[in-house]
Chains A and B, each alone.
Chain A
Amino acid sequence: MAKRPLAPCCPRRAMFHSLNQMLPDAAAGACDVIELTVNDRKLQLDVSEQMPLLWALRDYLGLTGTKFGCGAGLCGACTVHLDGKAVRSCVTPIASAKGKRVTTIEGLSAVSDHPVQLAWIAEDVPQCGYCQSGQIMQAAALLAEMPNPSDAQIDQAMAGNICRCGTYNRIKSAILRAAGNPNQNMALNAGAAVDSGLAQEATEVQS
């Protein structure tokens, strides 16, 4: 894939601030301070041990890249890594993350350059994008365990992650690409066939 256009600024980013300044407040309570390692940072939280990891990440640590979809481990939008394994953070009590490494989409790579993220960009996978953090975390865990998954293995590993927009074909292409086997038939660069002559060259727009 050739040059990408510059990323637009995320106009809303300013209000999605990291809530780090809230941490002292969160830790102000006396009892049950839970120590966590999130994206290689050691953190302390004063919340119930039963609170699902999802809400600790989102509402106390400001890591909102991990999404709430079903609250019941049915859709995969909340997928994060616990010691490198994909888990559904909406049904994972924070107690079970104690002493383990939690990795969220924000910590998957330093500059969005994890092979799965690069493949996702190359295949232009997202639509609404809401499920994509979970999809990417699931795919990254799959490839860490199984560098060359078959179609069936991809299906099996990814079947817990719902996308209502229908990005499944491109997700599969991106996983194959990240594994080093880009599926040219399904790649974006093949583009939709256009009959009209309006867009004969199925190339990316470049300046």
Chain B
Amino acid sequence: MISRRDFLKVGIATGGGLLLGFSTLAETRAADAVGAHANGPDASASTEPDFVPNAWVRIAPDGQITLVVSASEMGQGAMTVLPMLIAEELDAEWGRFVTEFAPASQTYANPLLGGQITGGSATVRGFYTKMREVGATAREMLLQAAARQWGVSANSLITEPGRVVHPASGRVAQYGDLAEAAASVPVPGSVMLKSEQDFRIIGKPTPRLDTPIKVNGQAGFGIDAQPEDVRTAVIERCPVFGGTVKSFDAAAAKAVKGVIEVIGLPHGVAVLARDYWTAEQGRQQLKIDWDPGHLADLSSEGITQALREGVEAKARTATKHGQGAAALPASGSKSVFRAVYQAPYLAHTCMEPMNCTAAVTDQGVTVWAPTQAQGKAQQAAAQAAGVDAAKVTVHTTFLGGGFGRRSEADFVTEAVTLAKRHGHPVKVVWSRPDDVQHDYYRPIAYNELAAELDAQGMPKTWVHRIAGPSIWQRVAPSRVKDGIDPSAVEGAADLPYGIPNLEVTYALIDPGVPVGFWRSVGHSQNAFVVECFLDELAAHGGHDPYEYRRKLLKGQPRYLGVLEKAAEMAGWGKKTLPKGHHHGIAVAKAFGSYCAQVAEVSIESGKPRVHKVYCAIDCGVAVNPAGIEAQMQSGIVYGLTAALSGKITLKDGRVQQQNFNDYPALRIDEMPTVEVAIVGSGVDSGHTIGGIGEPGLPPIAPAVVNALRAATGKPQRELPIQL
């Protein structure tokens, strides 16, 4: 029997990529598994600090295979698609394994992002090759083990799902029977990956592994964490960004039956009770004197004015081709068209309000968090508790939506701070108004555009000036180079259209409202701006917007591929639409994938009604077509919600919206039917793999707005849509 030490060696030898388990591992595994923890703060004590499960695959002698899922599951299907990649190359029986979420460890960093982050539509892009190698390495070791046992060459063996077979003799061994022997096999230096025609799993529409536990209430989200003796905390935060507590009177709050403690924090006051509702009752009795800080006068009007004034004055060039803006003739020329496009701040409103549960003991810190960024959560917890990060165990739960909001760790800091002060495990739960009013918002954007058309109505100069706050300035300032936040100009500075003179500028103007990643980030507004202005230009020259794009995308086969597919699906220019219905089209490349959409829209009772969306996506490699279809629908709904109603406004430094009544979400009776086609994708297509979680979003707003322009003849240059 291999010793624990030897066992760890195997783990190290594989670069953290492989770990084959044994019977002696069973106990260790139970303590280690993300959710196999016993309840409560003592659970952290059972985690031996020197044992990080730096592994992706465990095969127990009883045949149970455990696959570790390194990315957070927030609806995008990571928990299904990553096991697909491992199982394909391991030749595991699909579904006959269990999964668990990885703990916080750099071992599980996404190779594309360099950190343990689920975002940027990077899960499959980052892990596609690595997870396949993990599976192939395990399979190779199982083959070698069987070869030794049977005294045959490994080349004479094949695998069938879950077992090794020696066809010449008919001998068969289940993976579990080989697990122990396989662990003493030298780790292969390199492994062969399957070729596309041998895939059994990759490329097949595959139902989600988490569906069964999401239809019976069993899936554990962050808000469901119930370590023993946990108290719920709600926090009254300063309504003005950056404001602090001057003083507070907790007497009335403490007098509420069931309130256990009231704790002052720099940015607010927390009320703790056994249950959420009682804590809220206490919260309503708080008397707090705020120091609102320097943003107390902030208003939407003031912010827009600052952006307008700075858009040219503070402009830094992000990209320039030909003569750039200098090519524009003096104002007054009839061939020059100008427009101002604006997009508002947006909240994320994940269905699961922000929350985090923490226990702080002498042994360390345990955090149960619906997080997109385990490393960041771990750091935030360590800082809040004043301990080394190695003392922090992060359990990733299911996420009730993420959309970028859960890449932040503010809720982790709050939970750990309160758990440490209070001495018992604490679950911080945000109300919906807390969630709407204390978000890291999609940046507001102010855009001035100018274009000159040639005699044929084709653009020969395109100038796009962007002003807005910067996400990277706050999150990672080194990403802002020469004053340009790449996320603010993505989808604009890399304009695909063949225009001889191009200039895109960016003015970083930060009014102070916290901004963060919001599904598809800069593309969420830039696709709207670019694709709608282009549509306006097409109309000026009397061109069909689809044909106009085709001309300008000459030599861009992947853009053309999705554009033509979406048009074909919709019957663009061919199909007779019902009276009052109009088509709009848009295309965008984001996160390595190309997506075009045609929206069929009418106006009902003065409001836009989106009947149908035809969506064509080229993501290079389509690992799970069923998941891709779902993510296209998802991006469309998220983007459509924003286009139709999303707007965060400020007055006196305070967000004016607070719940789904004044910050609405699209409902089923407003939902268009969505048809999805996957084009041009295949492992052997030679295309790099693209993302899926975000690329479905950017084209929807412009497709709808362009359809409305077709319907009304009037451009719509500000979101949300106002007819």
- Give chain A's interface residues, CB within 8 Å of chain B: 4-17, 19, 47-48, 51-52, 54-56, 58-60, 62-72, 74-75, 77, 104-106, 108-109, 112, 117, 120-121, 124-133, 136, 154-156, 158-172, 186, 188, 191-199, 201-207
Contacts and interface: CB of A to CB of B under 8 A. Distances in A.
Interface residues of B, number: 115
A47 B635 CA distance: 42
A197 B682 contact: yes
Contact of A132 (B214, B629, B671): B214
Interface of B: 33-39, 43, 73-77, 79, 84, 93-101, 161-162, 196, 199-201, 203-221, 223-227, 232, 257-258, 274-278, 349-353, 368, 395, 397-403, 429, 431-432, 565, 621-622, 625-626, 628-630, 632-638, 641, 659-661, 665-669, 671, 673-674, 676-683, 685
A162 B216 CA distance: 18
A60 B177 CA distance: 45
A-B complex: 5 closest residue pairs judged by Cβ atoms: A65-B217, A5-B95, A166-B637, A130-B400, A128-B75
Contact of A121 (B211, B565, B673): B211
Contacts of B565: 195
A205 B94 contact: yes
A13 B35 contact: yes
A65 B216 contact: yes
Given A11-B33, A16-B220, A196 B679 contact: yes
B34 A12 contact: yes
Given A5-B95, A170-B633, A194-B622, 15 more contacts: A6-B96, A15-B225, A106-B216, A120-B211, A128-B74, A131-B351, A154-B668, A159-B669, A162-B351, A166-B666, A166-B671, A169-B673, A192-B205, A204-B205, A204-B206
A19 to B, nearest CB: 6
A170 B683 CA distance: 28
Nearest to B83: A8
B216 A15 contact: no
B668 A106 contact: no
A126 B679 contact: no
B633 A70 contact: no
A59 B232 contact: yes
Interface centre among A6, A158, A205 (most CB of B within 10 A): A205
Given A59-B232, A105-B216, A191-B205, A162 B39 contact: no
26 contacts: A8-B97, A12-B224, A12-B368, A13-B220, A15-B225, A15-B226, A16-B220, A51-B278, A59-B275, A65-B218, A66-B217, A68-B429, A69-B351, A72-B660, A74-B432, A75-B665, A121-B215, A124-B208, A125-B215, A158-B668, A165-B637, A165-B638, A166-B634, A204-B204, A207-B95, A207-B161
Contacts of B350: 128, 130, 164
Contacts of A167: 630, 633-634
Contacts of B683: 198
A188 B276 CA distance: 38
B205 A129 contact: no
A10 B36 contact: no
- Name the prevailing secondary structure of the A interface residues: loop
Contacts of B402: 128
A129 B353 contact: no
A67 B398 CA distance: 13
A9 B67 CA distance: 11
A14 B37 contact: yes
Given A162-B351, A164-B665, A198-B196, A126 B204 contact: no
B96 A207 contact: yes
B373 to A, nearest CB: 17
Interface centre among B161, B196, B216, B676 (most CB of A within 10 A): B216
Given A70-B660, A105-B217, A188-B207, A196 B681 contact: yes
Contacts of B399: 128
Given A12-B397, A169-B633, A194 B211 contact: no
B628 A192 contact: yes
A164 B673 contact: no
A161 B668 CA distance: 8
B682 A196 contact: yes
Contact of B668 (A17, A64, A136, A155): A155
Given A128-B398, A166-B637, A195 B680 contact: yes
Nearest to A112: B216
Given A59-B276, A127-B634, A191-B629, A11 B34 contact: yes
A109 B76 CA distance: 27
Contacts of A165: 75, 351, 401, 634, 637-638
A64 B230 CA distance: 14
Contacts of B211: 120-121, 124-126
A195 B432 contact: no
B432 A72 contact: yes
B45 to A, nearest CB: 15
Given A9-B98, A10-B218, A193-B676, A15 B35 contact: yes
Contacts of B432: 69-72, 74-75
A19 B229 CA distance: 10
B541 to A, nearest CB: 32
Contact of A63 (B217, B353, B395): B217
Given A128-B351, A192-B677, A205 B215 contact: no
B36 A11 contact: yes
Contacts of A125: 211, 215
B578 to A, nearest CB: 16
Nearest to A108: B216
A11 B101 contact: yes
Contacts of B678: 192-196
B668 A14 contact: no
B226 A19 contact: yes
A120 B215 contact: yes
Contacts of A104: 217
B445 to A, nearest CB: 22
B94 A206 contact: yes
A126 to B, nearest CB: 4
Given A11-B35, A205-B94, A5 B278 contact: no
A52 B215 CA distance: 23
A36 B407 CA distance: 40
B353 A62 contact: no
Given A51-B275, A51-B277, A69-B351, A169 B671 contact: yes
B493 to A, nearest CB: 29
A148 to B, nearest CB: 18
B199 to A, nearest CB: 8
A124 B627 CA distance: 10
B289 to A, nearest CB: 26
A108 to B, nearest CB: 8
Given A5-B95, A164-B638, A198-B622, A205 B204 contact: yes
Nearest to B636: A166
Contacts of A156: 669
